[in-house]
Chains A and B, each alone.
Chain A
Amino acid sequence: MKRQIYEELLASHKDRIYSHALYSLRDAHDAEDVTQEVFLKLWDRYESIDPEKVGGWLTRVTHNLCIDHSRRRKAQRNNFGHPDHEAVDTLVAVRGGLGDPEQNLLLSQRQAALLDALETLTPETRSVMIMHYFQDMKLHEIGSALDKSVSALKVQIHRARKSLRLVLTNVAETPPQAQRGTG
Chain B
Amino acid sequence: MNDCTLYELQLMDLAAGELTEPDLGAVRKHLQQCADCSAELAREIQMRELLGGLPAAACPEAVTNRLQSALPLGADRTGNGRSSWWPAGLGLVAAALLAVLLIPGWMNRTVAPESDLAQSEIHEFTDAEISQARRDVIATLALAADILERSREETVADVFGARLPRIINGSLRSPLSDAQGTTDNLKTAPTGGNG
Contact = CB atoms under 8 A, between A and B. Distances in A.
B63 A14 contact: yes
Given A2-B75, A36-B67, A40-B67, A134 B51 contact: yes
A17 B76 CA distance: 24
Contact of B47 (A47, A138, A161): A161
Interface in B34-75: 40, 42-44, 46-48, 50-60, 62-64, 66-68, 70-71, 75
Interface residues on A, range: 35 or more
A95 interface: yes
Contacts of A171: 46, 50
Interface residues of B, number: 37
Contacts of B51: 111, 114, 129-130, 133-134
B57 A35 contact: no
A110 B50 contact: yes
Interface of B: 8-9, 12, 16, 18, 40, 42-44, 46-48, 50-60, 62-64, 66-68, 70-71, 75-76, 78, 80-82
Interface of A: 1-4, 6-7, 10, 14-15, 17-19, 22-23, 28, 31-32, 35-36, 39-40, 43-44, 47, 91-92, 95, 107, 110-111, 114, 129-130, 133-134, 136, 138-139, 151, 154-155, 157-158, 161, 164-165, 168-169, 171-172
